[in-house]
Chains A and B, each alone.
Chain A
Amino acid sequence: MLVLASMVVFAGVRAIPGNPAIALGAENRDPAVIAAVKAKYLLDKPLPVQYGHWIWLALHGDLGVDQRDLAVGHTIAQRLPISLELTLLSMIVAVVVGIPAGVIAAVRRGKPSDYAATGVALVGLSVPHFWLGLIVIIWFAVDLHWLPAGGYTTIHHPLANLQHLILPAVVIGAGLAAVLMRQMRSSMLDSLGSDYVRTARAKGLSEWSVVCKHAFRNSLITVTTVLGLQLGALISGIVTIEVVFGIPGFGSLTIDSIMQRDYTLIQGVVLVVAAGYVIVNLLVDVVYSLLNPRIRAI
């Protein structure tokens, strides 16, 4: 999986027009430098050889150097934690808002609270992240001066750090919460209409126990798989929101690398994304098997 992904990345990056050796050599047009670059990345060899060489170096932690002669691995290591923190905060927002909203909407199906939650979620799905980002900047930063309009402070100043990240996290989390809410609602409705919930009611269990134990546990199983599939959307959100808020994270690094056609950087960034995807899917599988005894038994 990861191997295939890395091959696609490599081929894709090589498809970008322009002479990679010149790009890698940056402004330095000295033929000697270009020759050295060519030699280091085996650029005069056929593509499969280049690929093998790149993977070999990548496995040893060397993702090469970018246009400004900075080690790609180092740059990524610097930027990634910022985005991971943002991801974590967004997920918290999404889960805290989306899951209960979905449960409540399902239980009160057809009542005003259901329509309200469903409607808000639909709007949440339809709002472009970056636009919502702009709007909250106008409200909270420009008009109200409550929070900074953008930028980033390291985790060493926790309060300032949180102040910078809370708006972006809410914006990303809102979109994700909408997805979660809709999924939670529909799988709760499935569970609530199921035979085993009818059994639970026939046993004389309290409504709380019927909803929050019997129906909820089963619904979580489907929601977990959907959450894993949302990784792409989450990364898209992180990328645009980091650009809008000027956060120097992995997302803005991604956009910068593509805009500047910085080959080694793009390769490194996308490799990390693919690895992240694999890791998240593993995590989802683990959680899934913890929740679902049918899988655990095997």
Chain B
Amino acid sequence: MSAEPLLEVSDLSVRFDTDEGPLQAVDRVSFALARSEVLGIVGESGCGKSVTCMSLVRLLPETARVSGSVRFGGADLLALGPRRLRRVRGREISYIFQEPMSSLNPVFTVGDQIGEVVRRHLGLSRRDARRRAVELLQLVHIPAPQRRVDEYPHQLSGGMRQRVMIAMALACDPKVLIADEPTTALDVTIQAGILDLMREVREKLGTAIVLVTHNLGVVADIADRVIVMYAGRKVEEAAAGELFAAPQHPYTVGLMGAIPRPGERRERLEEIPGRVPVSSKPLERCVFADRCRYADETTRTQVPDLRPVRPGHLVACFHPEAERAA
């Protein structure tokens, strides 16, 4: 890994105050992102991966209590004033959301919405902004960009809309692109196209990407490094190849058991029994204990710290695969 990370997250915690009491969504998560790196964050829905990402640029509702720090370009994004934060959003760090259907404003044209970003951050004129919008649409492989630029979101298909979202995110040539389940809402055939596009973006523009997904296949396809989250915690982190070759946390192993693999005949896919726990405060035990087949007294009374089992491979488990096999 390069010496100076582009983005460095330390001890990020997010709590929501709900009607039913406080809810710990993210619990002391730390990670770093290098230049041009693709970092995958995986986990089941509700594990806090989206919340983690949204808190990076403070897009969470006001009920969220965020603590920790997010270092980026010499500043802590969590402590930045609103004005300076807005100069980072959309220009240095941009965001692609899961729902291309509802994430575009239905009453403005595609060109308006893309142009808006460059007009705000780069001070382009209306005419130049439009030209840039056409360029960007071309970049994300939308056919007939001259015509599409004046269309409204409802006139585009889901895959096209997601391409528009990506075009919008790339408008100011950002250093970091956060893609929150960018393919989940799309048809399988279209998903591959969007992933190809993201890979292309990284290669052409050198944009670092944080890719959030519950789909390990997607991560295997494109990520350099992977973080596995469970119940608001980071339970494992490793280079993608390493993780798939030798998963350490029983949860990661379980997740992989749940992916169908071509060429492999199995009676049924394995599922992980139980549910993700919802906690109101940080637990004083391993969060996975209730669902873990190796759970014992230690697991139920102490919190496992993240520790390296191999170089660059962190896991928060008392009984990682490597040690059990030995």
Contact = CB atoms under 8 A, between A and B. Distances in A.
Given A195-B97, A217-B107, A291-B107, A205 B154 contact: no
Nearest to A207: B82
B96 to A, nearest CB: 9
A202 B89 contact: yes
A291 B165 CA distance: 23
B155 A297 contact: yes
Interface range on chain A (Cβ under 8 Å from partner): 20 to 34
A207 B99 CA distance: 22
Contacts, number: 79
Interface string B100-123: 001111111100000011001100
A204 B59 contact: no
A202 to B, nearest CB: 4
The B interface is mostly helix, strand or loop, or mixed, namely mixed
Contacts of B109: 293
B86 A206 contact: yes
A194 B104 CA distance: 10
Contact of A221 (B89, B99, B103, B107): B107
A205 B102 contact: no
Contacts of B57: 202
A198 B103 contact: yes
Interface string A176-197: 0000000000000000011110
A111 B99 CA distance: 31
Contact of A204 (B89, B103, B152, B154): B89
B121 A204 contact: yes
Nearest to A215: B105
A54 to B, nearest CB: 45
Contact of A203 (B82, B106, B117, B155): B117
Residue of A205, A207, A292, A297 contacting most chain B CB atoms (<10 Å): A205
22 contacts: A195-B97, A196-B102, A196-B105, A198-B103, A199-B103, A200-B105, A201-B89, A202-B89, A202-B90, A203-B94, A203-B116, A203-B117, A204-B90, A204-B121, A206-B120, A214-B108, A291-B107, A293-B106, A294-B152, A294-B154, A297-B152, A297-B154
Given A202-B90, A203-B90, 13 more contacts: A193-B61, A195-B97, A199-B95, A201-B89, A202-B57, A202-B89, A205-B116, A209-B120, A214-B108, A293-B152, A294-B154, A297-B152, A297-B155
Interface of B: 57, 59, 61, 82, 86-91, 94-95, 97, 99, 102-109, 116-117, 120-121, 152, 154-155, 165, 168
Interface of A: 193-196, 198-207, 209, 214, 217-218, 221, 291-294, 297
